[in-house]
Amino acid sequence: MSHTAHIPSHRKPRRSASKLALRAGVAGGVLSTLAVAGASSPASAAEPVTETIELPTLTADLATQIAQSADATQETAANYQLQAERDEALAKAAEQAHKDQLAAEKKAEAKKKAAEAAAKAKAEREAAQRAASRSSERTTLSAVSSKAAPAASGSVATVIAFLKAQVGDAYVMGGTGPNSWDCSGLVQAAFKQVGVDLPRVSQDQSTAGTQVSLSNLQVGDILYWGAAGSAYHVGVYIGNGQYLDAANPSKGVVIQDLSGYPATGAVRVL
């Protein structure tokens, strides 16, 4: 045995063949890659130009799309705002139209009420004037009749004058004056002017005096329609084929021709 055999060796341990092979392979691969890159570098110098040309194109398209999208968004917002303004304007116009309509209706109603009030006032004035005229005429006729003959004498002229003064008065069932009458109420009031007291209703008035024929009528005779004792209407003959009566609600007190409505009979009380 060598005298140095017990002394440890200072040499580095040998690497295994597999590790050396692995490193050689890696190094070879790297060197091969570098070699290929170096060999192809002249040819590939022009290729990146082609790739870098497309990048700006893509970026420009994207910018255009973004700009178009922003424009579309802005336009949509503008349209919404315009529509909102239109809707608000329409709402205000509708509200104003409603207010104008209410004002017009109120004004029309006020005009209508004013016209009705004016018409009513006019009618009242005319009625008052007619009543005053009839009252004046009645006063005059009463004075004339009192001078012409005593009330007890039974002046036919006084009866006729009174009757004519009532022409135009209203017909009211049960009316006895002074401005509205029914047929028997008017006849009773007329003969009362000369002191003749007649029954109140037409049935009794048709038998109150002496029966006379229609061919022998005199002014002041009482005409009746229906049978004597059950007559339904009366009037007074005033001459010339005419009579005066409180006819009905539509006519009131009027003068009419006997030919248009012939009487059934007549009685004479004066």
| pLDDT of the residue at 257 | 97
What is the predicted pLDDT for the residue at 24? 46
Least Cα distance to 187 among 135, 211, 223 occurs for 223
> In a structure prediction context, what are the per-residue pLDDT tens digits for the chain, which is 270 residues long?
455 555 455 455 555 544 544 454 544 554 444 444 444 444 444 455 555 555 555 566 777 777 788 788 888 888 888 898 888 888 988 889 899 889 888 888 888 887 888 788 788 888 777 766 666 655 554 444 443 333 334 599 999 999 999 999 999 999 999 999 999 999 999 999 999 999 999 999 999 999 999 999 999 999 999 999 999 999 999 999 999 999 999 999 999 999 999 999 999 999
Output the CA–CA distances (angstroms, integers) from residue 181 to 138, 167, 241, in the order listed. 16, 11, 23
In terms of C-beta density within 10 A (0-12 exposed, 13-18 middle, 19 or more buried), how is residue 181 classed? Answer: buried
Contacts 24+ apart (CB under 8 A), 125-133: 130/168, 131/179
Residue 224 has what pLDDT?
98
pTM: 0.46
What is the pLDDT, as a whole number, of residue 228? Answer: 96
> Angle at which helices 17-44 and 47-148 pack, to 10 degrees?
70
d(CA 162, CA 192): 10
The reported pLDDT for the residue numbered 134 is 64
